[in-house]
Amino acid sequence: MENVNELQNKNSHKPSSFLNVLKKIMSFIVKNWFFVFFPCRLIKELIYDKLRYEQQKVFVSWLFLLPTILGFILFFAYPLGKSFLYSFSTVKSNGDFVFGMVFPKGNTGYDFSAPGTWDLWNNYKYALRVNADFPVSLWNTVVNTVVDTGVITIFSLLVAVMLNGKFKGRTLVRAIFFLPVVFNSEALEAAKEATEGMSAVMNAQGSGVLTQLFDLKLFLQGLGMPVQLVTFLSNITQTIYSTISYSGIQILIFLTAIQSVPKHLYEAATIEGATGYEQFWKITLPMVSPMILTVVVYTIVDSFLRSEICDIMELVLQNNEYGYYAAMSWLYILVSLVLMAVITGILSKVVFYYDEKK
Amino acid sequence: MTKRNKKNQAEQIVQEEVQVVETPVEKTKKEQWEEFKIKSKQKYDVIMEDLKNPVKKAVRRRKVGSKIVAILRGFIFFGLSFVIFYPIFQELSVAFKNPIDLNNKLVNFIPENYSLFNVYISAEVLDYWRSLWNNLQVSAISTICQLFATALAGYALSRLKFRGSNIIFWIIMLTLIVPPQAVAMSRSFYLGNFDIFGFFENLLGHSLKLKGEGRAIVFYLTSLTGQGIRSALFIFMFRQFFRGIPVELEESAQIDGAGVVRTFASVMLPNARGVITTVALFAFVWQWNDVYYTGLYEISGNAFPMLTSKMITASERLQSLLDYIKMDLNHPYRDLVIGLGEGITKNPLFNQAILNTSALMMLAPILIAYLFVQRLFIEGVERSGIVG
């Protein structure tokens, strides 16, 4: 019971301390308002008001971008650079590192007092040669990502086109289709992984009934389709839930893109007698194609984040092998960037940019 | 003209019919049959003429096509909606099921014995109300911070362009493209010992510790500086939206004497209601469901519980909670737990049921919120495609 009381005390203590800090800050501003706002006013009157409108625009633009640029430097560029250095060095548990040196392993981590040997590529060697799982899962990730990206992009484009049409209950269907964005939770998956082997039990209880009823695989194989195609198709159908739940943003991007297509194009096409099918291929698809590029890039990033390689890296991190982790993450960045460059390179040949002013 | 003729024809036929009906007296069956033959022949001709008419043909084809499309669409939407709703139904059914039913093969969806036991256990395991409050606080504040930073950046990158702003845009997009795992570890080290060129060291005598239990300020700080969860995507969305707003609007505001900031605040922002809702929804939900960063910055703990991390470790605390209930003589669920026996409490299915229930409880607030925001959100989807 004491424990509970203690917790409750802490609980009541927490918001009030937060409010106290807020109060302190507010009172500081109220007391010293002159010194806080005076420089701002000075800048406004002496610099900003004397600029022309175009120059004011640039000034305000920099002002608006300031937090983002600051955050980029502080929380992105600096850590990224540091992780690049980490990937060539041995890292202590407090974040210090020794560049390019390899130390022998003691009982509790690395023994930094021992003389090290110079080996720049040690971490990369570990990731690619010693660790058995990493290269394999990197390759698997690439393959899965390519398949996923294709499936999700096509699926979300089709759904967006269908959602764009006029029909009864459109609002309801749209609300339902964005539900997985809300309901899709990594925490649930992580928790289920923590109690692994349970999905099998769950399947035995009833959620497997569906798959038992429509055993697509057996059915299609009975029809005489090639096994590989059947496996591919059944994989896609089995992952339909995850496909839906990971394509929320993509549907959204496509939907807004479709709605921003000028309506007069469709009107002209309808007068000329084009069917909806033809309109899709001749108008919607070309007009939406720049967004396809965006969606593809986003999907690649997103499916890399969910891939099995993250689990392996997490495992390495849990063993406090920061150098290995950094090397792995840089390999991972490189692979994902190369993949993205290849795919966008191919796609950008097809992309059509519509310019209204022409 | 042809249409009118046809109508007249049809009227004539109807009139003839009426006449025929008026004099039905004393007719043999043969005559009736003959009349029927003639009538049907006439009808047949009319129908055939209709079928051959190219205009009607086209109309018919279009109608049938749209009907088929509608039916197909209905099927697809119904199927996909089922796929979406199925897990929610499953979780709902599990949540109100008495654990006794778990081993009963006959019970599938509708429980035989209702009970709030699962809900109670999940609430205890998650430390529900306190975690809920913390989650709400963290998600709400960081959503506001995200909105602030990303809306400003998106506007600056779309309407207040200067030489080199495209380069800045691509650099910001880089933060989306580079996976967070790559930055995460060294960022976590850095935040544990935060300092800007020794500024805080000189000022306070020590560097700031921005990670650890209860220090949710990390989320606010990163969100405020456009480095929150997928901020770059939000910047992209805002930029896309503001680009679509007609230039005339801005020009007229300028002529009316509004400055740059004024134009943004009172002309552009009110128009952006839809995209703001969308971004806010995503930011809130992702912050709410976030496991990765919460784990990385070690925010959650006994003094500052958060739903997601409590949920991941839920199964570890389950057995000890059950033991506690067994020991407590006055506990309302004591009889139930003892009655269940180890056959069920040690069963992985029970564990799974509790996890599903707690998942439902974790997501219930956002689901309810979504029901209310949904209309605005969908409207936002339509509005964010504004074209000049």
Query: B179 in contact with A at a CB cutoff of 8 Å?
Result: yes
Angstrom distance (rounded) from CA A123 to CA A145: 25
The share of chain A scoring above pLDDT 90, in percent, equals 6
Angstrom distance (rounded) from CA B364 to CA B380: 23
Chain A, 259-298: which have a CB under 8 Å from a chain B CB? 259-260, 262, 275-276, 294, 297-298
- The verdict on A166 and A120 lying in the same domain is no
Burial class of residue B69 in the structure, from the number of CB atoms within 10 Å of its CB (0-12 exposed, 13-18 middle, 19+ buried):
middle
Looking at the domain assignment, is residue A245 inside a domain? yes
Looking at the domain assignment, is residue B263 inside a domain? yes
ipTM of the complex: 0.80
pLDDT at position B105 is 67
| Token code pair at residue B84 | 């979406």
In this structure, the strands spanning A105-106 and A109-110 are antiparallel
pLDDT at position A65 is 92
Least confident interval from A194-203, A313-322, B300-309, B319-328: A194-203
- Other Cβ atoms less than 10 A from the Cβ of B141: the count is 17
- The verdict on A63 and A110 lying in the same domain is no
Q: Quick check: A197 pLDDT over 60?
A: no
- Is the separation of the CB atoms in A98 and A116 below 8 Å? yes
Q: 3-class SS at A89?
A: strand
Angstrom distance (rounded) from CA A247 to CA B378: 16
Looking at the domain assignment, is residue B104 inside a domain? no
Chain A, 314-333: which have a CB under 8 Å from a chain B CB? 317, 322, 325-326, 329-330, 332-333
Looking at the domain assignment, is residue B253 inside a domain? yes
pLDDT at position B150 is 93
**8 Å CB contact of B374 and A175:** yes
**8 Å CB contact of B175 and A76:** yes
Q: Which domain holds residue B174?
A: 117-383
Angstrom distance (rounded) from CA B302 to CA B285: 23
Per-residue pLDDT of A206-245, as tens digits, reads 444 444 445 666 776 777 777 777 777 777 777 777 788 8
CA distances from B195 to A22, A154, A284 (A): 22, 46, 51
- The verdict on A206 and A123 lying in the same domain is no
Report how many domains make up chain B.
1
Angstrom distance (rounded) from CA B113 to CA B100: 8
Looking at the domain assignment, is residue A11 inside a domain? no
Q: Which of A82, A256, A333 is nearest residue B385 as measured by Cβ atoms?
A: A256
**8 Å CB contact of A259 and B382:** yes
Q: Quick check: B300 pLDDT over 80?
A: yes
Per-residue pLDDT of B361-377, as tens digits, reads 888 888 888 888 887 77
- The verdict on A177 and A320 lying in the same domain is yes
Cβ contacts (< 8 Å) between A310 and chain B: which residues? Answer: 181
Question: Looking at chain A, how many residues does it have?
Answer: 358
Looking at the domain assignment, is residue A339 inside a domain? yes
Phi, psi dihedrals of residue A97, rounded to the nearest 5°: -145, 160
Least confident interval from A58-67, A193-202, A294-303, B254-263: A193-202
Report how many domains make up chain A.
3
Residue B231, domain CATH:
1.10.3720.10
Q: Which domain holds residue A344?
A: 131-350
- The verdict on A54 and A199 lying in the same domain is no
- The verdict on A214 and A185 lying in the same domain is yes
Looking at the domain assignment, is residue B225 inside a domain? yes
Residue A136 host element (H or E) = helix A133-164
Cβ contacts (< 8 Å) between A241 and chain B: which residues? Answer: 83-84, 86-87
- The verdict on A346 and A252 lying in the same domain is yes
Tokens 């033809």 correspond to A278
- Closest chain A residue to the Cα of B186, Cα to Cα: A79
Least confident interval from B59-68, B102-111, B212-221, B360-369: B102-111
Per-residue pLDDT of B203-212, as tens digits, reads 776 777 778 7
- Is the separation of the CB atoms in A336 and A296 below 8 Å? no
Residue A297, domain CATH:
1.10.3720.10
Looking at the domain assignment, is residue B315 inside a domain? yes
Query: B161 in contact with A at a CB cutoff of 8 Å?
Result: yes
- The verdict on A138 and A109 lying in the same domain is no
pLDDT at position B13 is 58
Per-residue pLDDT of B53-94, as tens digits, reads 888 888 888 889 888 988 988 888 888 888 888 778 877 888
Q: Quick check: A167 pLDDT over 50?
A: yes
Nearest one of B109, B65, B333, B135 to A209, comparing CA atoms: B109
- Is the separation of the CB atoms in B259 and A56 below 8 Å? yes
Q: Quick check: B388 pLDDT over 60?
A: no
Q: Quick check: A201 pLDDT over 60?
A: no
Residues 6+ apart with CB under 8 A from A332: A138, A304, A309, A313, B179, B181, B182
Confidence of residue A198 (pLDDT cuts 50, 70, 90): very low
